[in-house]
Chain A
Amino acid sequence: MRRINQIIRYAWVICSIALLTQCDKPDPGGEGQDEPLVFTRLTAARDTIFTEDTTRLSAEASGYNITYSWWVEKGDLIGSGPEIIFVATPCTVGNNPVTCTVTDGNQQSKSLKVTITVF
């Protein structure tokens, strides 16, 4: 009897965890799924900087369940989401196009570029 009680208790804990985890999952037919993906703009606080300097990049987009992906050939990108920091490392002298791709929950994606010039 004690063993059965123990099993029931464990099962209850596991079910509770499973239910709580379920809450985080996106609703497949959820609200806003029909919202179109719009990538309004990608801007840099300063688009001309010196090495050893930084500039903040911001992406403005709307849509359903958006993720922001960032890519640059040279230099470091710190952070994640709609705002990141570009770090002008010594190898970035010249033009550095930074690409931001927004992808929505329907797997639609759009990209924009902003060029940071480093002296």
Chain B
Amino acid sequence: MRKLIFFVFLALPSIASAQCFSSAGNPVGGSNNMGNLDKRTLSLVAFYHNSYSDRFFEGDKPSSISLIDKARYNFMGALMAYGFSDRFTLEAEAGYFIDKTKFYAIPEGYSLKGFGLTNALVSGKYQIYYNPVKKIEFAASAGLKFPFSLKSMEVNHVRLPFDMQPSTSTIGGVIQAYLIKQHSLTGMRYFLFSRFEANGTNRDGYRFGNSLVNSVFVSKHLIRTSMWPISGTVILQVRNEIRGQTFIREIPEPASGSFKLFLSPQINLAIREKFNVSFMVDLPVYQYYRNAQIADKISFSIVLNKALEL
């Protein structure tokens, strides 16, 4: 049996409370098992994500806009994957915003809170190439994301602004590609991961911008003693996120779209090779926004994974 390769990729809004659509239309929150699962292997993932910001950017520079004191979100999600064969894995993921909150500086002391289920994603992953000698694997997946409600969310009969909505309220598509290379002797692994998301137009005429995320992961095993039931892996992820413009009734929204580069150090603890706990921090290295939008500041995630052979 091939060892389950578990690394965390979270395709979450950059900052859920982003102003003027800097979040890419609340894309599906999720994580990924890199590579395919073995036949009859079930992987269960649960995660928590927290994001915080207190600044606006215009272009790649901080803006003087001081409308928001701070913005944050708390998000939890789950992913279930099952290996139907050694080459085909079916995945389903969904998430829930515990809160997406803006704390206003103007008017001072007020806040606005959104919450609720995000879009769900069902996708099929196929292993296109696998060389067990060279330890190279290439897989691709395609999926459909769909909302739990087509209606925009209202709180106390007041419709939430679109950057506060928990889901896109419409269907969308996701295409992903994975390239994995392992070095057994050095304990090093290299991953390339790409994810493209396209969104449909919802009932209110909003079409959130498409997004393209590219990640490079480099990992190294830290503990390799057979006596100790826990093994550790340190991972460094460099991630680029490109968000397209949002359209409102087919008119592009000027204050939408962004280009970002993140550095995400991560530690993964595998307990008896069956149960994984991961901790991850997202640090923005470079950010560019069209017009004024709330910029990312810091976020962190905790991920639990359990693999079962059925």
Contact = CB atoms under 8 A, between A and B. Distances in A.
Interface of A: 52-54, 67-81, 84-85, 87, 89-91
Contacts of A52: 65-67, 106
Nearest to B158: A70
Interface in B8-43: 19-21
Contact of B159 (A67, A72, A79, A90): A72
Interface in B105-129: 106-107, 110, 112
A90 B291 contact: yes
Contacts of B256: 91
Nearest to B256: A91
12 contacts: A52-B66, A54-B107, A70-B157, A72-B159, A73-B204, A74-B248, A75-B161, A80-B156, A81-B156, A90-B67, A91-B21, A91-B256
Given A69-B159, A78-B107, 14 more contacts: A52-B66, A52-B106, A54-B106, A69-B154, A70-B158, A72-B159, A76-B102, A77-B159, A78-B112, A85-B107, A87-B106, A89-B19, A90-B19, A91-B256
Interface of B: 19-21, 56, 65-67, 102, 104, 106-107, 110, 112, 154-159, 161, 164, 204, 248, 253-256, 291-293
B157 A67 contact: yes
A89 B20 CA distance: 7
A72 B162 CA distance: 10
Contact of B254 (A84, A89, A91): A91
A22 to B, nearest CB: 24
B65 A71 contact: no
Given A53-B106, A90-B291, A77 B20 contact: no
Q: Does more than half of chain A's interface fall in helix, strand or loop, or is it mixed?
A: strand
B66 to A, nearest CB: 7
A91 B56 CA distance: 13
Nearest to B246: A91
A81 B158 CA distance: 9
A89 B157 contact: no
Contacts of A69: 154, 157-159
Contacts of B161: 72, 74-77, 89
Contacts of A72: 159, 161
A84 B256 CA distance: 26
B151 to A, nearest CB: 12
Contact of B292 (A70, A78, A85, A90): A90
Contacts of B204: 73
B281 to A, nearest CB: 29
A70 B306 CA distance: 45
A18 to B, nearest CB: 26
A73 B159 CA distance: 9
B20 A87 contact: no
B1 to A, nearest CB: 52
A110 to B, nearest CB: 14
B110 to A, nearest CB: 5
A71 B159 contact: yes
A74 B249 CA distance: 12
A85 B110 contact: yes
